[in-house]
């Protein structure tokens, strides 16, 4: 039989999804599984989105422009203006999800073997995207004891080589919930200028900052407009993960024009979903206020419950809807599997994501998990009780 590609063999399984077969088996024997492993909110998608889909009025679902519908891109200009980000039409390329935005950007700025520096733990698919594009992820390590703040800026300098092309951060951060400050971004700005790099910033969770914290966009950094690349998506903003609509934003039109060429190769992003996303921009502010209040309560309940569990270290996330916690177990991967195969409370169990898959450095995250507070408060309380009871009797407890 012919061999598969080395690229295919090296592609990692998602730590977020790899335990799905075990969860399915648990459900088949009648157990209820609380899914805290994946960023799929139970928040309703706003009515503005659905109405646009239901009343699209089209007779033929034709190809759209490769760079996205003009009407949607114009509406995106209005959206970003709300955050003080002034854009023109050619600054925006619509993509099939934020994932494609990252892939297009990596392909636009790197050649095979070029390097992108990323703080770890990081959104695990960055590693997969890099393998797909033949780029290389180089990590600097943030620490749970320091709430996952940006490591000292000299640690970034130490990782720069003649193959380094960019620095990539997610702000607010998935998986940690950390929100990078203006000062941290300005420090990265200096590095970008000093070493002539691009700055890729995934700002998918900008709407979700807590405790009065204000999100500072990399698009506000002066002097690096030609090397700042904003990566975005509607998945979390409108709780529309299945819409698969994202975008690449940059004032450097060499980048957007290159992304457009890659977009031509896949023809066009989904048309109906763009119509929904376009209408979603007119969603009333009270929708987001209610969602933010709901996530704040969910976070507070989860963090309080985790901190009551002996041996658990759980930083209080300031953004997004995830946290990384350290558990008193020998192997979080085995523990997550055990919860699904060997443990339940009154016929119910919970699914969490082992955090080792969010690190690139071998051995890190072995006793950490990423937990998404995407369920309602009562379900979170039940899931936390299951986790607490499981930790009491897990054979690999330390």
- Fold entry, domain 6-44+286-393: 3.90.1150
Sort 42 into a burial class: Cβ within 10 Å, 0-12 / 13-18 / 19+.
exposed
The whole-number average pLDDT for the span 269-284 is 98
Asked if pLDDT for residue 15 goes beyond 80, the answer is no
Instruction: Name which residue leads in pLDDT, 16 or 313.
Output: 313
Give the model confidence (pLDDT) of 228-267 as tens digits: 999 999 999 999 999 999 999 999 999 999 999 999 999 9
The whole-model pTM stands at 0.96
The whole-number average pLDDT for the span 45-51 is 97
Q: How confident is the model at residue 18 (pLDDT cuts 50, 70, 90)?
A: confident
The whole-number average pLDDT for the span 299-314 is 98
Asked if pLDDT for residue 53 goes beyond 80, the answer is yes
CATH architecture of 47-280: 3-Layer(aba) Sandwich (3.40)
The whole-number average pLDDT for the span 338-364 is 97
Please, which contacts does 128-134 make with residues 24 or more away whose CB atoms are closer than 8 Å? 128/11, 128/12, 128/14, 129/99, 129/102, 129/103, 130/106, 131/7, 131/10, 131/11, 131/12, 132/7, 132/11, 132/103, 133/103, 133/106, 133/107, 134/7, 134/110
Q: How confident is the model at residue 212 (pLDDT cuts 50, 70, 90)?
A: very high
- Name the nearest CA neighbour of 43 among 361, 354, 289: 289
Give the model confidence (pLDDT) of 290-303 as tens digits: 999 999 999 999 99
Mean pLDDT score of the chain:
97
Q: Going by C-beta distance under 8 Å and a sequence separation of 6 or more, which residues neighbour residue 252?
A: 225, 226, 227, 228, 229
Domain positions in the chain are 6-44+286-393, 47-280
Q: How confident is the model at residue 12 (pLDDT cuts 50, 70, 90)?
A: confident
Alpha helix (H) ranges present in the chain?
6-10, 20-28, 47-54, 70-81, 97-109, 125-133, 153-159, 182-195, 253-265, 271-280, 285-307, 332-341, 377-393
Give the model confidence (pLDDT) of 26-43 as tens digits: 999 999 999 999 999 999
Q: How confident is the model at residue 330 (pLDDT cuts 50, 70, 90)?
A: very high
- DSSP per residue, 95-154: ESHHHHHHHHHHHHH--TT-EEEEEES--THHHHHHHHHT-EEEEEE--GGGTTPPPPHH
CA-based radius of gyration for the chain: 21
């Amino acid at each position: 039989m012919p061999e598969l590609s080395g690229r295919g063999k090296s592609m990692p399984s998602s730590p977020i999804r790899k335990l799905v077969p075990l969860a399915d088996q648990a459900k088949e024997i009648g157990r209820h599984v609380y899914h805290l492993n994946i960023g799929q909110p139970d928040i309703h998608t706003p009515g503005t989105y659905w109405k646009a889909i239901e009343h699209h009025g089209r007779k033929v679902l034709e190809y759209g422009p490769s760079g996205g519908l003009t009407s949607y891109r114009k509406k995106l200009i209005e959206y970003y203006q709300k955050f003080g980000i002034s854009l023109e039409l050619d600054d925006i390329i619509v993509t099939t999800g934020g994932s494609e935005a990252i892939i297009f950007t990596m392909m636009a700025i790197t050649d095979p073997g070029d390097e992108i520096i990323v703080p770890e733990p990081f959104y695990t698919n960055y590693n997969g995207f890099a393998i797909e594009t033949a780029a290389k992820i180089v990590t600097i390590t943030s620490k749970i004891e320091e709430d996952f703040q940006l490591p000292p800026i000299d640690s970034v300098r130490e990782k720069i080589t003649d193959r380094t092309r960019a620095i990539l951060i997610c702000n607010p951060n998935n998986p940690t919930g950390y929100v990078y400050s203006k000062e941290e971004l300005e420090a990265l700005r200096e590095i970008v200028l000093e070493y002539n790099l691009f700055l890729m910033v995934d700002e998918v969770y900008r709407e979700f900052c807590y405790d009065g914290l204000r999100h500072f966009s990399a698009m506000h950094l002066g002097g690096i407009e030609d090397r700042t690349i904003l990566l975005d998506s509607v998945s979390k903003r409108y709780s529309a993960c299945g819409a698969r609509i994202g975008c690449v934003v940059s004032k450097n039109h060499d980048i957007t024009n290159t992304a457009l060429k890659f977009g031509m190769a896949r023809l066009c992003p989904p048309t109906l979903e763009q119509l929904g996303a376009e209408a979603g921009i007119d969603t009333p502010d009270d929708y987001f206020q209610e969602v933010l209040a709901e996530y704040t309560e969910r976070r507070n309940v989860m963090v309080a419950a985790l901190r009551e569990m002996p041996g658990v270290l759980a930083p209080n996330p300031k953004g997004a809807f995830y946290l990384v916690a350290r558990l008193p177990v020998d192997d979080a991967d085995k523990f997550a599997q055990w919860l699904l195969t060997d443990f339940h409370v009154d016929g119910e169990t919970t699914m969490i994501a082992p955090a080792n898959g969010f690190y690139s450095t071998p051995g890190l995250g072995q006793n950490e998990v990423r937990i998404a507070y995407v369920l309602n408060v009562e379900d979170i309380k039940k899931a936390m009780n299951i986790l607490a009871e499981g930790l009491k009797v897990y054979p690999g407890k330390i």
